[in-house]
Amino acid sequence: MGAPLELIQELYSSISHSTDERRSVMLRHLTDLYLVGSDQYSDEEIDLIDDVFVRLVATIEQSSRALLSLRLAPVPVAPPKILRLLACDDAIEVASPVLTQASP
Protein backbone atom coordinates (compact mmCIF):
# COMPACT_ATOMS: atom_id res chain seq x y z
CA MET A 1 0.00 0.00 0.00
CA GLY A 2 3.04 2.29 0.31
CA ALA A 3 3.39 2.86 -3.44
CA PRO A 4 -0.19 4.11 -3.97
CA LEU A 5 0.12 6.45 -0.99
CA GLU A 6 3.39 7.83 -2.35
CA LEU A 7 1.76 8.33 -5.74
CA ILE A 8 -1.15 10.18 -4.16
CA GLN A 9 1.25 12.41 -2.22
CA GLU A 10 3.18 13.19 -5.42
CA LEU A 11 -0.03 13.95 -7.29
CA TYR A 12 -1.32 16.18 -4.48
CA SER A 13 1.97 18.07 -4.46
CA SER A 14 1.82 18.49 -8.21
CA ILE A 15 -1.76 19.72 -8.01
CA SER A 16 -0.92 22.19 -5.26
CA HIS A 17 1.96 23.69 -7.21
CA SER A 18 0.24 23.91 -10.60
CA THR A 19 -1.53 26.79 -12.28
CA ASP A 20 -5.29 26.76 -12.82
CA GLU A 21 -4.74 26.02 -16.49
CA ARG A 22 -2.41 23.12 -15.73
CA ARG A 23 -4.88 21.63 -13.24
CA SER A 24 -7.62 21.78 -15.89
CA VAL A 25 -5.34 19.95 -18.32
CA MET A 26 -4.54 17.38 -15.63
CA LEU A 27 -8.25 16.87 -15.04
CA ARG A 28 -8.96 16.38 -18.75
CA HIS A 29 -6.13 13.84 -19.06
CA LEU A 30 -7.21 11.95 -15.94
CA THR A 31 -10.78 11.87 -17.25
CA ASP A 32 -9.62 10.58 -20.64
CA LEU A 33 -7.49 7.93 -18.95
CA TYR A 34 -10.37 6.84 -16.76
CA LEU A 35 -12.92 6.71 -19.56
CA VAL A 36 -10.69 4.58 -21.78
CA GLY A 37 -10.24 1.87 -19.15
CA SER A 38 -13.13 2.37 -16.73
CA ASP A 39 -14.45 -1.16 -17.21
CA GLN A 40 -11.03 -2.70 -16.54
CA TYR A 41 -9.95 -0.95 -13.32
CA SER A 42 -9.94 -2.74 -9.98
CA ASP A 43 -11.80 -1.29 -7.03
CA GLU A 44 -8.48 -0.13 -5.56
CA GLU A 45 -7.53 1.65 -8.79
CA ILE A 46 -10.93 3.34 -9.00
CA ASP A 47 -10.57 4.48 -5.40
CA LEU A 48 -7.14 5.96 -6.14
CA ILE A 49 -8.39 7.76 -9.25
CA ASP A 50 -11.44 8.92 -7.30
CA ASP A 51 -9.20 10.52 -4.66
CA VAL A 52 -7.27 12.40 -7.33
CA PHE A 53 -10.49 13.58 -8.98
CA VAL A 54 -11.76 14.90 -5.65
CA ARG A 55 -8.51 16.75 -5.01
CA LEU A 56 -8.47 18.28 -8.49
CA VAL A 57 -12.13 19.33 -8.39
CA ALA A 58 -11.47 21.31 -5.23
CA THR A 59 -9.08 23.51 -7.20
CA ILE A 60 -10.76 24.08 -10.56
CA GLU A 61 -13.33 26.48 -11.94
CA GLN A 62 -17.00 25.74 -12.52
CA SER A 63 -16.70 25.21 -16.28
CA SER A 64 -14.18 22.40 -15.79
CA ARG A 65 -16.34 20.81 -13.09
CA ALA A 66 -19.34 20.98 -15.44
CA LEU A 67 -17.40 19.28 -18.23
CA LEU A 68 -16.22 16.56 -15.85
CA SER A 69 -19.81 16.02 -14.72
CA LEU A 70 -21.01 15.67 -18.31
CA ARG A 71 -18.28 13.16 -19.10
CA LEU A 72 -18.55 11.00 -15.97
CA ALA A 73 -22.32 10.98 -15.39
CA PRO A 74 -23.19 8.32 -17.99
CA VAL A 75 -20.28 6.00 -17.09
CA PRO A 76 -21.61 2.83 -15.41
CA VAL A 77 -18.57 2.46 -13.12
CA ALA A 78 -17.77 6.11 -12.42
CA PRO A 79 -15.85 6.84 -9.22
CA PRO A 80 -18.43 7.27 -6.44
CA LYS A 81 -16.82 10.04 -4.36
CA ILE A 82 -16.46 12.41 -7.28
CA LEU A 83 -19.99 11.68 -8.46
CA ARG A 84 -21.36 12.58 -5.01
CA LEU A 85 -19.28 15.73 -4.94
CA LEU A 86 -20.44 16.79 -8.40
CA ALA A 87 -24.07 15.95 -7.61
CA CYS A 88 -23.92 18.22 -4.54
CA ASP A 89 -22.25 21.12 -6.35
CA ASP A 90 -24.02 24.48 -5.92
CA ALA A 91 -23.85 25.12 -9.68
CA ILE A 92 -26.74 23.42 -11.49
CA GLU A 93 -24.54 23.05 -14.60
CA VAL A 94 -22.28 20.79 -12.56
CA ALA A 95 -24.86 18.87 -10.54
CA SER A 96 -27.51 18.31 -13.21
CA PRO A 97 -25.73 15.74 -15.42
CA VAL A 98 -24.94 13.52 -12.44
CA LEU A 99 -28.39 13.88 -10.94
CA THR A 100 -30.14 13.02 -14.20
CA GLN A 101 -27.81 10.41 -15.73
CA ALA A 102 -25.74 8.61 -13.12
CA SER A 103 -26.62 5.07 -12.15
CA PRO A 104 -27.79 4.60 -8.55
Per-residue pLDDT of the chain (104 residues; tens, 9 = 90+): 455 567 667 777 787 778 888 888 888 888 998 999 888 888 988 998 898 899 899 888 999 999 999 999 999 899 999 999 999 999 999 999 999 997 76
Host domain of residue 79: 2-101
- Residues 64, 79: Cα–Cα separation, whole Å: 17
* Dihedral of alpha carbons 46, 71, 33, 19, sign: negative
Domain count of the fold of the chain: 1
